[in-house]
Amino acid sequence: MSFPDSLPIPGEVVEIARTLQEAGYETWCVGGALRDALMSHPHADFDLATAATPAQVQSLFRRTALVGEKYGTVGVIDRRRVVHEVTTFRRDVATDGRHAVVSYGVSLEEDLARRDFTINAIAYHPLRHEWRDPFQGEADLRRRLVRAVGEPARRFREDYLRILRALRFVARFRFTIEPATWAALVAGADGLTRLSAERVRDEWFKGIATAQSVTELVTLWRQSGAAARLMPELDQASAEAVASLGTLAPADRDPILATALLSRDPASTLRRLRASGAEVDRAAAMAVGPEAPAGGDEVAVRRWLSAAGKAADDIMALWVVRHGAPAPWAEAVRRIRERGDPLTRGDLAITGSDLQALGAAGRRIGEILSVLLALVLEDPSRNTRETLTALARDLS
């Protein structure tokens, strides 16, 4: 064992643990924060597990929020309004691959036994500085191994999301999967189709955000059979598209962009994953394009900016990932934006009501505005009331 003698735990978390301990309830730090701390990765939220029931936790603190009532999680709100998760020691009494029915009144050891992987089943006592590691999670951390707690096939059958979580942790830490866990994961992949679209989407997005290389994450989804069951797009994506994702720095890990790079019809992919309407619209606009201006001159770039609208920056970001170089017209975009060249009908120095005053009516107004915009995109100096009025007179 090579646990540090003590771990720096945020003061607020220690205080919550102290309150629970003084009321007679065993309380331990658990979960991802310990795993990350042992690897010297920063991790903000230290979750607590306690013998107190959710009702007892609520009665001990002035301000609480219900976080996951069904699963025994209460959010304790500290002075700075930060929410800390406190979960009652629990056992899963019934599982169906998607949800669990839980019961309380169990020991810390039993609570650790229901956790997914050994590296996530370590506990640390924030006041007594003791460690509990019944499944040798610390040794697996050193061996860089994701291994199921207990019998892997059974653990995946209880909750198929664990398959996707395993892939995420492997890609995030560049670990390997212990062979029996991998075999059970591949054998159980059919069960993935029973997960809700929301849980799949959250895992996919989290995976993209945290993987050391998105290419590796996609490869894991493919090899495990998760792609075939949940994201056939990943199997169909070209080798170039998958490889290009490897160049995405964590700061540019926009899940919508990454999904768009991998999918021929990103809007339908995201709709299927129940992404928000705004996200689906964003992906649809990226796909409409146009992918690039017809030429490198500013007229062509203005036309492109006008057509691409709000999707312009996303389209340029896609270009960067696909070609490994900045969009060749990015500099022209910068100049055009700096000058504030008119790009939409709304930017025109003349309005629909002006045209009405000139005698135009109905659909003709929109047509004239389109023609005027085209003329202004060609030469922004035309965007004055006088010039546009004269042009409009000629047109009507």
Binding site for ligand ATP (CB under 6 A): 31-32, 47, 115-116, 120-121, 159, 161-162
Q: Could you tell which of ligand ATP, Mg ion, none binds residue 229, using a CB distance below 5 to 8 A set by kind?
A: none
Q: Could you tell which of ligand ATP, Mg ion, none binds residue 27, using a CB distance below 5 to 8 A set by kind?
A: none
Q: Could you tell which of Mg ion, ligand ATP, none binds residue 116, using a CB distance below 5 to 8 A set by kind?
A: ligand ATP
Could you tell me the smallest distance in angstroms from the CB atom of residue 259 to ligand ATP?
19
Could you tell me the smallest distance in angstroms from the CB atom of residue 50 to ligand ATP?
14
Q: Could you tell which of ligand ATP, Mg ion, none binds residue 159, using a CB distance below 5 to 8 A set by kind?
A: ligand ATP
| Per-residue CA distances from 194 to 99, 159, 219, 275, 338 (Å) | 11, 10, 22, 18, 51
Can you tell me the distance from the alpha carbon of 325 to that of 113, in angstroms, rounded to the nearest whole number?
A: 49
**Number of amino acids touching Mg ion (CB under 5 A):** 1
Which is closer to ligand ATP, CB of 47 or CB of 354?
A: 47
Contact track, Mg ion, 282-321, x by CB under 5 A:
----------------------------------------
Sequence-distant (≥ 6) Cβ neighbours of residue 202 within 8 angstroms: none
Could you tell me the smallest distance in angstroms from the CB atom of residue 31 to Mg ion?
6
Q: Could you tell which of Mg ion, ligand ATP, none binds residue 120, using a CB distance below 5 to 8 A set by kind?
A: ligand ATP
Q: Could you tell which of Mg ion, ligand ATP, none binds residue 161, using a CB distance below 5 to 8 A set by kind?
A: ligand ATP
Could you tell me the smallest distance in angstroms from the CB atom of residue 354 to Mg ion?
58
Q: Are 259 and 251 in contact (CB under 8 A)?
A: no
Beta strands (DSSP E) in 292-339 are none
Half-sphere exposure at residue 320, Cβ-oriented, CA atoms within 13 angstroms: 15
Q: Which of residues 12-41 bind Mg ion (CB under 5 A)?
A: 32
Among 170, 267, 163, 296, CA closest to 224: 163
Can you tell me the distance from the alpha carbon of 323 to that of 325, in angstroms, rounded to the nearest whole number?
A: 5
Can you tell me the distance from the alpha carbon of 368 to that of 348, in angstroms, rounded to the nearest whole number?
A: 12
Can you tell me the distance from the alpha carbon of 255 to that of 211, in angstroms, rounded to the nearest whole number?
A: 12
Could you tell me the smallest distance in angstroms from the CB atom of residue 36 to Mg ion?
9
For 311, the 3-state DSSP assignment is helix
Which is closer to ligand ATP, CB of 115 or CB of 302?
A: 115
Helices (H), 114-191: 137-143, 152-158, 161-173, 179-187
Which is closer to ligand ATP, CB of 167 or CB of 311?
A: 167
Binding site for Mg ion (CB under 5 A): 32
